């Protein structure tokens, strides 16, 4: 179980030339405070739909 709850993902940027996906994940820490985390992760697909990109960033935030 993750130690924080993802609330929102914003500023999603996909760089197909570098194969990189980045964005800002907003979540609550265990104390209930809001935190912003910039996440950058490699992607193999040359293009992702918005929902796929958001899900990818949510998973990356939960792992790191």
The pLDDT of residue 1: 40
Q: How far apart are CA 58 and CA 50, in angstroms?
A: 12
* Contacting residues for 5 by C-beta, under 8 A, at least 6 apart: 27, 28
Q: What is the mean pLDDT of residues 3-13?
A: 84
Q: How far apart are CA 37 and CA 25, in angstroms?
A: 5
Strand partners for 23: 39
Picking from 28, 55, 17, the residue whose alpha carbon sits closest to that of residue 39 is 55
The pLDDT of residue 4: 63
Predicted confidence (pLDDT) per residue in 11-62, tens digit = 999 998 888 999 999 988 888 899 999 999 998 876 778 888 888 888 888 8
């Amino acid at each position: 179980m993750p130690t924080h709850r993802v609330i929102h993902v914003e500023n999603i940027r996909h760089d197909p030339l570098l194969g990189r996906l980045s964005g800002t994940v907003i979540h609550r820490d265990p104390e209930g405070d809001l935190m912003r985390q910039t996440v950058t992760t490699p992607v193999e697909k040359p293009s992702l739909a918005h929902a796929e990109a958001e899900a990818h960033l949510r998973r990356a935030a939960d792992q790191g």
